[in-house]
Chains A and B, each alone.
Chain A
Amino acid sequence: MSDPRRYLVALAGTEDSALPQRIDRVLGTGDSAVEITLFHVVETGPRELAAYHPAVRRGHWPLPNKDVIEHRLEDADDEEAAALLAVWQERFEAALPGARIAGLVAQGRPEQEIIASAGRLNVDAVILSARPRTGPTEPGPRSVGHVARFVLDHSPVPVLLVRHSR
């Protein structure tokens, strides 16, 4: 038996819920072993903005305990990532009953983490949405967001770019 095919599905969380069915239709995952890693990246930029907020730097006000705040923000991010992946894991398992689905969370900048993980996990292809945050996108100029564009430019493996249908 040949090695299972392995895919990395990058999720911002706002993708069309029909994403698993569309992937299944394109890849025909029904007939052989497939491993799918659902990959969500927690962007740490905003958290750093909040923790090192300019008002913190300005320092006029009695400063709240920074460590406590940082922990609260991290916990919120972890909770969010876990909740998102749980939702999508269910959707993928329902749509692709034969496949092995796993979740993976990273922290940092999504485009770089996707590229790094694609290389590290040695997947056969990366799958992601063109512009997950804004819903349906017609093909045309600027219909691909900056994360997807970076992945298209830098991915060491084939990329499947999914568009949201109306």
Chain B
Amino acid sequence: MIANSQFTPAAPLAAAIFLATIGLVIARPWRLTEATAALLGASAMVLMGLVSPSGAASDVAGHWNVLLFFVGLTGAAAVAERSGLFDALAGTSARLSRGNPRRLLVAVVAAGALVAAVLSNDAAALVLTPVVYVLVARFGLSPLPYVLACTFVADAASIALPVSNPVNVIVSDRLGVSAAGLVPVMLPAAAASVVALLGCLLVIYRRELPARAPLVPPSTSWASWTGVPRRLLAASGVAVGAFAVASAANLPLGPTMAAVWLLLLGVEWTIRRFDRPLDGVGWSLLVFVAAMGILVDGLSSAGITAWLAQVVLGQVRDSPALVMVVTAFAAAVGANLVNNLPAAFVFADAVHSAGLSEASAHAAAIGTIIGADLGPNLTPVGSVATLLWFVLLRQRGLEVSTWSYIRVGLIVTPVTILAALGVALLLGLPR
């Protein structure tokens, strides 16, 4: 709606609050957590009268599906982590590699892609990276290529399914696009970007991976699947199946995911009595998402996201293909300037306010998801925040070879985005 793209008088204030919040999220002074920073910003929006209290309440309530989804997802991933699944997966990768460093890299990327797609990108990055590090060290290899592979594949594979990345659900929810309906496009696109990533890594590290690992631990020394409780494996299978059916039937994802979590938790209870079932639920993610919803509502009612939509989509709004490409690159740039979740929020709202045709909205959802999921890998990972992080490390006398990290992102990010976009353009446009 072009008429909508007038700024209200409150626009400068809304923009200032949003930017200050992002600044806090990035710089994190006084050990402020991201959730606290976002909460402060959301409170400021309400206190300054940019969002009414009832509006804020309905923003949070309006995200019930997304919020419930994250409770279920983080809880389910915590069950998976406790079950020893990650060690078993790493052990399988080790055995498949048979002491060949290149095969090990391929196996690690495959394992990371699987975890990222099924259990979300943060699980792959946070839980799998240390496991892989230990695994690679036991081969006497330099862990750098493998640690980076975990980082990158966590994002590259995270466009695959609704569960793979918080961004996916936020974007499709806001744009009114069926998250499950995107899977036939996004799954092949994710496969393309993972393959592209693997190709990049094998080329970049062609001179640094030796022909043979210096140590080859006996294959029996690796964690195996027998360590993972059978019942839990079976329940996971049931859970995945149930989730797929529910998605296909277009049931809301939030309650489905919460039910999956409760199922896994129940099965875990029959194996091992635990004290704190809520351990591992990502409460800070919930607070962050809820607060972000209020912040972006403030931007939206000030007319800023509509203006952004006009700037980005003004010329191309009637061509789904162009909409997809433009949103992908704009979201990728946004994810590097600010954090990827805020970028996804702002973009989803902007696209929403542009009042696109159904085909264009579908294309915009795909483009935004690709850009916001894959984009953050460009600078060391995530955003300017990581650059500040390197500065901090330097000040404390820790030398991290920044270049060895950045150069990989500079190559991998455009290549994976282009690979995913290529597939999405082939499969994701109405014909």
Instruction: List residues of chain A with CB under 8 Å of any chain B CB.
Output: 12-14, 43, 45-64, 69, 72-73, 76-77, 79-80, 83-84, 87, 109, 131-135
Contact = CB atoms under 8 A, between A and B. Distances in A.
A25 to B, nearest CB: 23
Interface string B33-68: 111000000000000000000000000000000000
Contacts of B138: 76, 79-80, 83
Which size class do B's interface residues fall under? 35 or more
B19 interface: no
Interface stretch (B175-183, B209-217, B411-419): B209-217
B358 interface: no
A83 B140 contact: yes
A110 B129 CA distance: 23
B144 A57 contact: no
B318 interface: no
B345 interface: no
Nearest to A64: B126
A120 to B, nearest CB: 20
Given A58-B122, A69-B130, A135-B210, A48 B400 contact: yes
A48 B398 contact: yes
A56 to B, nearest CB: 6
Interface string B324-367: 00000000000000010100000000000000000000000000
Contacts of B341: 60
Given A55-B154, A76-B133, 18 more contacts: A14-B214, A46-B144, A48-B398, A50-B129, A50-B147, A52-B389, A55-B121, A55-B125, A55-B151, A58-B339, A58-B382, A62-B283, A64-B130, A72-B130, A72-B134, A73-B133, A83-B138, A84-B215
A1 B282 CA distance: 70
Nearest to B339: A58
Contacts of A72: 130, 134
B399 A64 contact: no
A61 B285 contact: yes
Contacts of A45: 144, 399-401, 404
Interface string B205-244: 0011111111100000000000000000000000000000
Nearest to A54: B381
A41 to B, nearest CB: 11
Contact of A49 (B35, B213, B385, B400): B400
B281 A43 contact: no
B398 A46 contact: no
Given A62-B280, A133-B210, A54 B144 contact: no
